[in-house]
Structure 1
């Protein structure tokens, strides 16, 4: 493991550290105060916010726009009859293509549960038929999604937010993208006529985590973009392969039906490449500005959507505000989420493997203006049960009104094939006693988790999708970690 890690990252770290630190103008500006004037200065978030928020529309200056929309839905006498649209959110599948039941699940390598992991030393270390809490996904579990439709209803569209490869380090793009291509083919088989909007994560890269935004193209993105040709228009595919992120007028999707076009009219999907903020993307150590110009592009894209009176749904892998996303980028995203709070109706991420949420606060007054919804992983790696979410959107506002979690109890599935099914586990608002999914209600939940032990324990268990360790959380007093 140590050799592979060194081979993958040491030269990148050193090269980019030197590239930035010892660039003459940068070194002079940052470390030699006698050099005047400085060519480089640190970004001031306050100045950035002042500039971007200068033309903030009057009708959203109270920072209650989304909360008021939820109130309108609540007060609608025909609330039960409001038209809805159904979406799946799947993330962090982390497919282990050479998974083999009965192999060693307790190894010292990056991946276990395959022939390379050797023979298990005990019965408890044998990889289960359907998966293992210490390993990445058994490819057989993907097929179970098809039967889940009978319980959830057919999705109108699917949002897939990356991390398809296992947790190993690969050095060839053709290898690191194998899982993405495999999953793509499976989804096309199971949902041939369904609209799917995908974006990659950090594990599709070779080596994982590393994206050099200074280059004009990326082999990994090229391979993935070509694999997704059934879901991307030629224009969007070209943008993705060139930039590694994209914006998509949803009704232009090649699989969109007349009903989908009617329901999703004037709604854009913005898919971010969150490697522009990832702490373990060591190429960022050599970046001086906005990596890939993505934040600037996002602002321009949102302004155009605003001018056209349209709406946006943002998807990505790493949530802004998460510890792995650098603070300067997270702060700039927050400013944009404030400025365009009336445009952005849904934010979906993965990466952490846990079912979590982040309340988005306004710059002025720190009022709750939005929510980043983070889904737990499809992979059981890190003790989770495999899971995905089913999101019901209100067609008129494009706001989420129900977020349901479906899980497979891996321990029970390994004991009996009849249990190898995805079943409804909970609905987000119902399980925590929330009035709705508004930013204000979600903000109140943060206080409830802080102050009420039973709510905190419930949240900790749901983070794991009732996986390994849930019984101990339920039985014991909630500690600081809980």
Structure 2
């Protein structure tokens, strides 16, 4: 999940200025030059000129815009962001390369962040200080990096600049015809539990401030504001809050008590909370150990297959290449921790350690004919600054994925892929996303399901053949979230899977009404089976043909689109109270069919279907 805090991280590399209110300010080249000169003069003299003060006054944003995903703006608004991103980034790179002390650069960004009302001073200071070591390393160790590389990554959907060549690469994909594997359905099923996006907040304070002006609320120490009537609920809160420990334990206990016949558990990432400005390696370690220990304690010998989420490293989102050996910068501490925990619990075999330590990914075969591939696709996240430094297939993971699938095909194995971020998410770097989709296209016949998290929504994505837009070839299911962040009810999912083909036959979505739960804090939340996927959408099965018909009907404005929309937000009142007209509803169909972040062809195809109905 990214929203505002992902954008806030742009501060550390430059995109810190946004046009005011209506955003009608013309970000011309002369304005950019003027702005760069004013910043430089301010840094040199310590004095803000009247012109600089006026610019800051014009560009300061209203508080209500702080949680908007600025990268998704378009038109003149997007153009303004892009131009300012380039000017600020160039300024910071110039300051560093001309010998300006790091502390001065940090203080400059923190002051601008605060004066522009991007966040409170504490949040600005925390994010900037956490990210500075990585940013400085990248600038110092690649003299070719410029503002076009940075802004071309961060604003890739807005065509901020022509796509920099450093982000263009490809992997080798076996060109032979797919080996057809015929497996007959079994009369037996597996029951797979998916848990995702817990976001446990050790600072959560029931009765605390749920209306704070920071990225995450309901935390101890946020009550100084006074007079706020939004109080954090006992079990969690809709208002940009994560969950307390007792909510995590209740959810896990309910899963165990309600589903005693679970065969496998997929945990698809994100244990750590959204307090991204005050994380630490020690704090993240403590939360990870606490949560995984509790899972082991509750589920006992039931095998759990976990993956890493984008919130697990410190700073958030940053996954260093394996050849970065500096302990302050490396992600090895996290990979070592997770490998030790997961292998020592007996969840994973020792053979997975090598690739976990290399990049947080692994593969195993729980039983003959079935393979699980767990990837760390957080490396594709545009807020992973290491992409600027080493963008080409980080740690060779996608080539490893292709090689692993090729061997699985040879061995007649059916495959489930676990990945945190949906491949079509707009914040997944375009080239990585494109190459991943090419892999899916080649091996879709053995990949019987994909499982994602990250978005917190109850949704799914369908993959169409790259050469035949009418042919649905694969599906990725999203597990939703335990956290209510933001404005969502907590949930988890149960998958009914054929024991021989490993095809998903049905899905149960379990959840509880957070508002009702908080009205009776002395009682456990009332979890209930919200719906069966087959029954909810009137499907005979979850085959490619059935899912294709469902999506096409949705594109033609079938009533099931409104049903899907309500389920997408897990029936949470704060979201469903918002108006969503026909055009708004159809955007969710585009979201379903977009599986490569830089390719809108599938979405355009379904828009045509709707226009011809």
TM-score (ref. length: structure 2): 0.66
Q: Deviations over 1:427-480 (max 9, x none)?
A: 12221222321233223322333332632322222112112325526xx66353
- Cα distance change on mapping 1:177 and 1:463 into 2, 3 Å: farther
Name the stretch that deviates more: 311-320 or 3-12.
Answer: 3-12
Q: Deviations over 1:52-93 (max 9, x none)?
A: 252022649xxxx9xxx8xx76xxxxxxx8200001101110
Query: What is the number of residues matched between the two proteins?
Result: 434
Whole-angstrom distance in 1 between the partners of 2:481 and 2:275 = 17
Alignment partner, residue 143 of structure 1: 249
- List gaps (5 residues or longer) in structure 2: 1-122, 150-164, 326-330, 586-613
- Cα distance change on mapping 1:448 and 1:138 into 2, 3 Å: farther
Whole-angstrom distance in 1 between the partners of 2:577 and 2:204 = 28
Is this contact kept in 1: 2:464–2:473, CA < 8 A? Answer: yes
Alignment partner, residue 212 of structure 1: 320
Whole-angstrom distance in 2 between the partners of 1:133 and 1:298 = 37
- List gaps (5 residues or longer) in structure 1: 28-39, 74-80, 251-263
Name the stretch that deviates more: 453-462 or 11-20.
Answer: 11-20
1:162 is the counterpart of 2:269: yes
1:368 is the counterpart of 2:465: no
Whole-angstrom distance in 1 between the partners of 2:308 and 2:179 = 36
Q: Deviations over 1:125-163 (max 9, x none)?
A: 111111111210121122223234443443111100111
Name the stretch that deviates more: 2-11 or 153-162.
Answer: 2-11
Relative contact order: is structure 1 or structure 2 higher (C-alpha 8 Å, sep ≥ 6)? 1
Whole-angstrom distance in 2 between the partners of 1:163 and 1:42 = 27
Name the stretch that deviates more: 169-178 or 221-230.
Answer: 169-178
Task: Give secondary structure in 2 for the equivalent of 1:96.
Answer: coil
Alignment partner, residue 454 of structure 1: 559
Q: Deviations over 1:264-296 (max 9, x none)?
A: 432111110112211110110111421110011
Moved over 6 A (4+): none
Deviation at 1:241, TM superposition (A): 2.2
Alignment partner, residue 70 of structure 2: none
1:327 aligned residue (420, 423, 430): 430
Is this contact kept in 2: 1:406–1:423, CA < 8 A? Answer: yes
Whole-angstrom distance in 1 between the partners of 2:372 and 2:397 = 15
Deviation at 1:333, TM superposition (A): 1.1
1:188 aligned residue (279, 288, 296): 296
Whole-angstrom distance in 2 between the partners of 1:19 and 1:446 = 47
- Cα distance change on mapping 1:413 and 1:19 into 2, 3 Å: same
Name the stretch that deviates more: 116-125 or 195-204.
Answer: 116-125
- Cα distance change on mapping 1:177 and 1:374 into 2, 3 Å: same
Is this contact kept in 2: 1:376–1:464, CA < 8 A? Answer: no
Whole-angstrom distance in 2 between the partners of 1:444 and 1:299 = 30
- Cα distance change on mapping 1:120 and 1:389 into 2, 3 Å: farther
Whole-angstrom distance in 2 between the partners of 1:210 and 1:44 = 21
Deviation at 1:238, TM superposition (A): 3.9
Name the stretch that deviates more: 11-20 or 354-363.
Answer: 11-20
Is this contact kept in 2: 1:456–1:478, CA < 8 A? Answer: no
1:267 is the counterpart of 2:370: yes
Whole-angstrom distance in 2 between the partners of 1:111 and 1:353 = 15
Is this contact kept in 2: 1:266–1:311, CA < 8 A? Answer: yes
Whole-angstrom distance in 2 between the partners of 1:374 and 1:157 = 17
Whole-angstrom distance in 2 between the partners of 1:321 and 1:276 = 14
Task: Give secondary structure in 2 for the equivalent of 1:323.
Answer: coil
1:391 is the counterpart of 2:495: yes
Whole-angstrom distance in 2 between the partners of 1:278 and 1:205 = 13
1:412 is the counterpart of 2:516: yes
1:5 is the counterpart of 2:109: no
Whole-angstrom distance in 2 between the partners of 1:137 and 1:277 = 27
Alignment partner, residue 156 of structure 2: none
Deviation at 1:419, TM superposition (A): 5.6
Alignment partner, residue 390 of structure 2: 287
1:56 is the counterpart of 2:177: yes
Whole-angstrom distance in 1 between the partners of 2:199 and 2:510 = 18
Alignment partner, residue 348 of structure 2: 232
Name the stretch that deviates more: 412-421 or 281-290.
Answer: 412-421
Task: Give secondary structure in 1 for the equivalent of 2:509.
Answer: strand
1:241 is the counterpart of 2:376: no
Q: Deviations over 1:15-68 (max 9, x none)?
A: 5367556179xx9xxxxxxxxxxxx887476xx6xx6252022649xxxx9xxx
Root-mean-square deviation over aligned CA pairs: 2.7
Whole-angstrom distance in 1 between the partners of 2:142 and 2:176 = 34
Is this contact kept in 2: 1:106–1:120, CA < 8 A? Answer: no
Task: Give secondary structure in 2 for the equivalent of 1:346.
Answer: strand
Q: Deviations over 1:344-371 (max 9, x none)?
A: 1110000011111111122221321000
Alignment partner, residue 36 of structure 1: none
- Cα distance change on mapping 1:42 and 1:182 into 2, 3 Å: closer
Is this contact kept in 1: 2:480–2:491, CA < 8 A? Answer: yes
Larger radius of gyration: 2
Alignment partner, residue 33 of structure 1: none
Whole-angstrom distance in 2 between the partners of 1:347 and 1:444 = 20
1:90 is the counterpart of 2:195: yes
Task: Give secondary structure in 1 for the equivalent of 2:215.
Answer: coil
Q: Deviations over 1:353-395 (max 9, x none)?
A: 1111111122221321000111211100111111000001001
